[in-house]
Structure 1
Amino acid sequence: MKCSRRNFLTGTGAVIFTTGGVGLSVLSTQTVAADEASPAKRYGMVHDETACIGCTACTDACRDVNNVPEGVSRLEILRSDPQGEYPDVTYRFTRKSCQHCENPPCVYVCPTGAAYKDEQTGIIDVHKEKCVGCGYCLAACPYQVRFFNPDDHSADKCNFCRDTNLAEGKQPACVESCPTKALTFGDLNDPSSDVNQVIENKVVYRDKVQLGTKPKLYKVPHQKGEIS
């Protein structure tokens, strides 16, 4: 089938009017809609270990806002062994939660499509109605942050409060509740976002980057030195 200029214009829904040799184009509604569509976001987070005091207000807020059952958690604050000698003892606190990987192993191994990456936000999430409880995603996650929800028996994890606070135009519950502002959240595709300002102006690291997962959870190290 030949694709003439007329056929092409007809197929795209564009109409060309010519008056006195001057062309006036009327674009299809599909083209206009595509032009007006908002660009995709790529949400990420920074946890500043130098500001975290281990109060776990973030974990409590996450549980309340997202109705996370007792016995499981979407995020944890891990405390290091004591550093220094009594009475000058300090601790290092770090966040353990979904990394929202650019290359998510959990998504690649899911046989039903329950685990997925939202291309409009970069958030890794779960279609609970598709989850069959096979546990492949739990086993594939190198960060070991997925769990089975005891109430609905599907895979569960942090989704940056996508269905709760984010849907209401708020920051994730953990960010809003942090008393020391140790958490910064935003769009990594926006050069002027708060999260990018922190990444550009502070020393940061990411967990297990050697695996090629490209995590979007960054951390400001508690102290200088080698990061394991």
Structure 2
Amino acid sequence: MTQDNHGKAHKYGMVIDLDKCTGCGSCMVACMSENNVPFKENETDKKDSITWMKVFKLTNGKPFPDIDTCYLPRPCMHCGGKGDHGHSPCISVCPATATDYGYDTGIVSQIYTRCFGCRYCMGACPYHARYFNWWDPKWPDGMEEYLSPDVSPRMRGVVEKCSFCYHRYQEARDRAYHEERRDHIEEGEYQTACTQACPAGAITFGDLNNPEHEVYKLVKPDPHNCGRPREPKAFRLLERLQTNPKVYYISEREWVRKAGDNYRKGEWGKEIKVSHGKGH
């Protein structure tokens, strides 16, 4: 799949309903278990912790009884970059080409065997979605039995991040090919671990280029405006940076949508100028 025809390819993304999320953390646990994310014996120092999916707590800043709380799960945004050409912030700065954009899936990959730990990508990511391995992963005796055989544990000295459970996509693609469906993957065949684990049903995953998929129906992405949602309740984090993430959020609450783009007083309601790449 080349850059020129990637508009006809899959574009996998996620929609998270913040009005449903209870902040239980099931998505974080499922992500760690599915992707062999290492943990330390002492997790009190969160600067060294690795959590591909992280849940943040937001408030409207008002005193009781007017205070309101929102929980915001944050995986990797799998940015398409300015103009949605695949030049996401992390890819643009990586000197080792250890991270790449899949034009056939829209997924930003991380190739651990190429990474030499310069951490440029961590500095470039505005969502703090990348983590550095300071130590080789260690599990208590017997815990190696719980590891997923489909995901390689990462070694010390490399950066890792959410992959949208890419190994599940590979499995679904292989099954479709074996059944002579080529690349025709049904919506339910490829789902991330966090999507399936959410007890509130707050996370929806699917193909943003497929009008039949629920993620498309929820946000109605505009292909002529770099995927910006046409649904007024939907938004993406830090939209003004034009990173074009594939993770969308939905909320009925206006203050939550304001917080998503870090609006300052007096800015809400102003038109966001979006400059398109060449050919858009």
The TM-score normalised by the length of structure 2 is 0.63
Percent of residue pairs identical: 36
1:166-210 alpha-carbon deviations (Å, 9 max, x no partner): 334341000000011100111011111110111136610101111
Residue of structure 1 equivalent to 2:64:
85
1:137 aligns with 2:125: no
Report the 3-state secondary structure (helix = DSSP H, G, I; strand = E; otherwise coil) of the residue aligned with 1:130. Answer: coil
1:69 aligns with 2:72: no
Residue of structure 2 equivalent to 1:197:
217
The CA distance in 2 between the partners of 1:208 and 1:44, in whole Å, is 17
- Pairing 1:93-104 to 2, within 5 Å after superposition: 93-103=71-81, 104=88
- Pairing 1:138-157 to 2, within 5 Å after superposition: 138-149=122-133, 150-151=135-136, 152=155, 153-157=157-161
Residue of structure 1 equivalent to 2:237:
207
Distance 1:118 1:95, change over 3 A: same
The CA distance in 1 between the partners of 2:12 and 2:213, in whole Å, is 10
The CA distance in 1 between the partners of 2:203 and 2:51, in whole Å, is 18
Task: Tell me the CA shift for residue 80 of structure 1.
Answer: 1.9
The CA distance in 1 between the partners of 2:62 and 2:30, in whole Å, is 28
1:117 aligns with 2:101: yes
1:4-47 alpha-carbon deviations (Å, 9 max, x no partner): xxxxxxxxxxxxxxxxxxxxxxxxxxxxxxxxxxx521111011
Task: Tell me the CA shift for residue 90 of structure 1.
Answer: 4.6
Report the 3-state secondary structure (helix = DSSP H, G, I; strand = E; otherwise coil) of the residue aligned with 1:207. Answer: coil
1:184 aligns with 2:204: yes
Give the partner amino acid of 1:76: K
Distance 1:180 1:138, change over 3 A: same
Q: Report which of the two has the higher share of strand.
A: 1
Task: Tell me the CA shift for residue 107 of structure 1.
Answer: 0.3
Residue of structure 2 equivalent to 1:42:
11
Task: Tell me the CA shift for residue 128 of structure 1.
Answer: 0.7
Report the 3-state secondary structure (helix = DSSP H, G, I; strand = E; otherwise coil) of the residue aligned with 1:129. Answer: coil
Q: Are the equivalent residues in 1 in contact too, given 2:101–2:108 (CA < 8 A)?
A: yes
Q: Are the equivalent residues in 1 in contact too, given 2:233–2:252 (CA < 8 A)?
A: no
Q: Which runs of 5+ in 1 are unaligned?
A: 1-38
Q: Are the equivalent residues in 2 in contact too, given 1:92–1:222 (CA < 8 A)?
A: no
Q: Are the equivalent residues in 2 in contact too, given 1:84–1:90 (CA < 8 A)?
A: no
The CA distance in 1 between the partners of 2:25 and 2:251, in whole Å, is 18
Q: Are the equivalent residues in 2 in contact too, given 1:99–1:217 (CA < 8 A)?
A: yes
1:104-161 alpha-carbon deviations (Å, 9 max, x no partner): 1100110111011111111001111110101110011111110113431211111101
The TM-score normalised by the length of structure 1 is 0.76
Residue of structure 1 equivalent to 2:162:
158
Give the partner amino acid of 2:64: E
Give the partner amino acid of 2:101: K
2:111 corresponds, among 119, 127, 146, to 127
Give the partner amino acid of 1:93: Y
Give the partner amino acid of 1:47: I
1:52 aligns with 2:21: yes
Task: Tell me the CA shift for residue 220 of structure 1.
Answer: 0.6
Give the partner amino acid of 2:251: P
Please identify runs of 4+ aligned residues in structure 1 that moved more than 4 A. Answer: none
Report the 3-state secondary structure (helix = DSSP H, G, I; strand = E; otherwise coil) of the residue aligned with 2:31. Answer: helix
Q: Which shifted more, 125-134 or 144-153?
A: 144-153
